[in-house]
């Protein structure tokens, strides 16, 4: 399971594996006001073209 949380202090991902181990990962904050480059857009499209799985896996959401 992976759950993402965002606060004023930063963005975090909480992981829990099937064996019961849990850990937290600090991820860089994304400034949504900053423009993205054409290369970044192409990287996203290439990644999506190769993705085969559930939508929840793509967005790091746990199933409800």
pTM: 0.42
pLDDT digits (tens, 9 = 90+) for 14-47: 888 888 889 888 887 777 788 888 988 898 888 8
Judged against a pLDDT cut of 80, whether residue 64 lies above it is answered with: no
SS (H, E, C) 1-64: CEEEEECCCCEEEEEECCCCCEEEEEECCCCCCCCCCHHHHHHHHHHHHHCCCCHHHHCCCCCC
The residue extents of the domains of the chain are 1-29
């Amino acid at each position: 399971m992976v759950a993402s949380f965002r606060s004023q202090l930063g963005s975090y991902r909480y992981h829990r594996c099937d064996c019961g181990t849990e850990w937290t990962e600090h991820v860089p904050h994304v400034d949504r006001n900053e423009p993205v480059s054409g290369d970044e857009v192409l990287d996203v499209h290439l990644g999506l073209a190769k993705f085969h799985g559930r939508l929840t896996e793509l967005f790091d959401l746990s199933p409800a």
